[in-house]
Structure 1
């Protein structure tokens, strides 16, 4: 293959936005000759490389748009040190709950791994090419309040509605004003039986009235979130505290 041919092919690949093919066609052609591949075999390898790279870029974009606090996966969670079922989380990570619009509620004390598990489920959903958004309850309410103040609430609610999965972290850590609760309820109510939501909370449902002052709104929110939900209890024993304690013991040993 002449230099002129290579340049022409690279330019054509650039025009067709096939950057991986443009970067790998020569190397794969040499490999095909060495291995005695057919023309069809070479074409299959070339197209496969392009598809694989596009898939990688698409997932990277979805992970970026999800606004995850940290890149944590279920594979990195130490299930043997927690009371959470690894099998249950693996089943959920397969994504059926997203397709069926079933909520997931992670309930437990601070440090028990709720955010790690929620993030891991979000990563799994992004890998399945689903549109995900991770937020804290406070950040979501602030965003909606700013949109309402700017007369853009309807547009903001539409953006949330278009997502395949929303994860609301730290619900229950800070008392919420009634107006704030109403804004969050709009998002959750709009998704009921239509799209999936993950919520992490440090409070049992019987104590949600401590942070949601309107009893009727509190009851309605719990009703929407618990309907057909997967409720996972992470316990009261801090995973982070145990890990820190173990690390200090190892340092002294």
Structure 2
């Protein structure tokens, strides 16, 4: 009996070593880490070999999916994480739960459709922009969040260093580009032309989501060339989902409500 147990233990150790070596060679870290634990579980529950294999592979897939999701979120460079589910729809009556649900599903990205979030500062544009980007990351899509001024500066530097085509191609490969604060800073002619290259690179092929405080009729205050303004507006509004967040600051209303509640007698 002791001899049989000893042989089994030795065989298991050899099997674990073999699994570890194979998993390392095939770059399956979760299989290497979980194979022993799942084998003990399979033995207790009298699972078949196929069931055990399925559980081991499922663990690897789940872990890899989570790592990819985390990597996409980190690569997106969000200033903070905000989810669509946390957005207060009651504070912005122009936005319905159905609309947010449809956008969260991400079909607009499959069609390369733009999203434009129009509204004054504090009305929830950034929350929605980040929420859309985060939802896309969780679907395994490549996303980048950046302000308009930051993107223009990056493009100007790339042009000066003669690597513009590489940078434009990198932005073109994204599934979703989240462009924030369009309208807060005036853009010079060179910067406007460079930004237009990014928009053109993605036209009808990959989605761009833009948050702006200006109606389209006032985009001429940001871009100096009327012809360029017309071309940009034409591209970002074609088949676009245009969402108006209004003019009343959600943050200001929330602060006022909080202060009012704190002043009420107990």
Say if 2:218 is the partner of 1:196: no
1:66-105 equivalences under 5 Å are 66-83=76-93, 84-105=95-116
Unpaired runs of at least 5, structure 1: none
Of 206, 220, 239, which residue of structure 2 is paired with 1:228?
Answer: 239
1:153 aligns with 2:170: no
Q: Which residue of 2 aligns with 1:39?
A: 49
1:24 aligned to which of 34, 40, 54: 34
Matches within 5 A, 1:134-145: 134-145=145-156
State the distance in 2 between where 1:230 and 1:96 align.
12
Number of equivalences: 253
Distance 1:5 1:248 in 2: 66
How far apart are the structure 2 equivalents of 1:155 and 1:40?
Answer: 47
Per-residue CA shift, 1:98-157, capped at 9, x if unaligned? 111110000000011111111111111112221111110000000000011112111211
Q: What SS does the aligned partner of 1:175 have? A: coil
Partners of 1:68 and 1:25 in 2: CA distance: 36
Give CA-to-partner distance per residue, 1:83-109, whole Å, 9 cap, x none: 221210110111111111110000000
**Aligned counterparts of 2:133 and 2:19: Cα–Cα separation in 1:** 39
After TM superposition, the structure 1 stretch with the greater mean CA deviation from structure 2, 2-11 or 141-150, is: 2-11
| Aligned-partner SS, 1:105 | strand
Q: Is 1:247 equivalent to 2:258 in the alignment?
A: yes
TM-score where L is the length of structure 2 = 0.90
CA positional deviation for 1:37: 1.3
Q: Deviations over 1:14-43 (max 9, x none)?
A: 232211111111211121122221111111
What residue number does 1:180 align with? 191
Deviation at 1:249, TM superposition (A): 3.5
Question: How far is the alpha carbon of 1:250 from its aligned partner?
Answer: 4.1
Name the SS for the 1:163 alignment partner.
coil
Matching residue of 1:52:
62
Aligned residue among 107, 123, 127 for 1:112: 123
Counterparts of 1:166 and 1:22 in 2: how far apart (Å)?
37
Query: Shift in Å at residue 4 of structure 1?
Result: 4.6
1:10 pairs, out of 20, 24, 43, with: 20
Larger Rg: 2
Deviation per residue, 1:215-251 (Å, 9 max, x gap): 1111111111111110000011111112222333344
CA distance in 1: counterparts of 2:36 and 2:236, whole angstroms: 54
Q: Normalising to structure 1: TM-score of the pair? A: 0.95
Deviation at 1:252, TM superposition (A): 4.0
